[in-house]
Structure 1
C-alpha cells in the first residue's frame, strides 16, 4: 500500500513539473518575442521586460517549491527566490545607470540562479526524469552569466537582445524537459 502512495505522489509531482516546465517555456517564448519586437520601439517596454524576467523566476521558483513540500524542503529554490528577488531590485537600480550595468546584474543573476537550478535538478534526479536538460540549463546559465559580465565591461552598449538569446535557450531547455516527462508518462501508460 505504501508503494502505491509513493508511486501516485511521484506521478503527481511529475505531472506538476510537466505543466510547470511548459508554463516556463511559454513565458520565456513570449518574453523573447516581446524583447525582440516591442522593446525596440520603447525603452519603457524594454525596462519593464528586464524587471519582469528575474521577478518571474522568483515567483516561479516559489510556486514550484510550494507545490513540492515548501521552501524549507527545497533549499536551492528558497535561495533562488531570494536571489531572483534581490536581482529584480538590482535591475531596477541598474536601469538608472546604463545597459552595461543591467547586463552585469543579469550576469550575476544568471550565475547564481543557474547554479541553484543545477542544484535543484540534481536533487530531483533520483526521483523524477527529464532533469538532465535542467542540469544542462543550469550549467549553461552560469557560463552565460560570466559571459554577460565580460560583455558588460565592453564600450559598446548592450541591448535587451543580448539577454533574449539567453532566455530563448532557457525556454528550449524547459521545453525539452516538459516533452521528455510527457513522453515518459505516455510510455508508462501504454506499457
Structure 2
C-alpha cells in the first residue's frame, strides 16, 4: 500500500526540514533587508511587504505540513496557514493605519507563536533539534503582546518594528537548520567510528 501522506523516515524528514528552515531564514533575511533598506522610504512597497510576510508564512506552513505527513497529521501547521492567510487579508484592510497593522501583527504573532511551539514540541521526538523552534514560538507570543501594547499608544509604528520581529524569526530558522546539520554530522561520526 502506497500512502502519499505517510510520515517520511527520520533522515528524509531532517533533510526536508533543513531545506525548509534555510529557505525560511533566507526569505526572512531578504524581507528584513527590503523593509529596512527600501520600504521605510516607500509606503506602497512597505504595504506590499507587510501583506507578503504573513502570506509567505501561510505558503511555507502548507508546504511543510504537506511534506511532513499531510495537513491532517499536522493540524498546528494547517491552522497556522489559515491564520496567516487571514492576517494577510486583515493587514491589507488595516493599511495605511500602522497602529492597526501592528495590532494585527501582534495578535498573529501570539497565535502563530503558540502554533509553532506546538509543532516544535510534536516534532521533538521524531526529528530532534527543535529547541530553537520552541524558543522562537514562545518569543513570538511575547513579541505579539508587546506589539499589541505598542499599537495602543500614540506613537505611530513603522515597518522596521515588524522587521525586528522578522529578523529574530530568520535567526531561529537558521539556528534550527544548523542544529539539524550538526546532529547529522554527530550521528555520521558515531557510525564511522
TM-score range, shorter chain: over 0.9
1:87-166 pair list within 5 angstroms: 87-96=87-96, 98-166=97-165
Contact 2:114-2:137 within 8 A present in 1 as well:
yes
Question: 2:25 aligns to what SS in structure 1?
Answer: helix
Q: CA deviation at 1:190?
A: 2.2
- In structure 2, what is the Cα distance between the partners aligned to 1:41 and 1:152? 21
- In structure 2, what is the Cα distance between the partners aligned to 1:105 and 1:171? 20
- In structure 2, what is the Cα distance between the partners aligned to 1:37 and 1:63? 29
Partner of 1:64: 64
Structure 1: segments with no counterpart, 5+ residues:
1-7
Structure 2: segments with no counterpart, 5+ residues:
1-7
Q: Deviation per CA, 1:38-69: give whole Å up to 9, x if none.
A: 10221011000000000000000000000011
Question: 1:126 aligns to what SS in structure 2?
Answer: helix
Partner of 1:82: 82
Partner of 1:5: none
Runs of 4+ in 1 over 6 A off after TM superposition: none
Question: 2:155 aligns to what SS in structure 1?
Answer: coil
- In structure 2, what is the Cα distance between the partners aligned to 1:19 and 1:190? 22
In the alignment, structure 1 residue 178 sits paired with structure 2 residue 173:
no
Partner of 1:3: none
- In structure 1, what is the Cα distance between the partners aligned to 2:40 and 2:61? 29
Relative to the length of structure 2, the TM-score reads: 0.93
1:37-48 pair list within 5 angstroms: 37-48=37-48
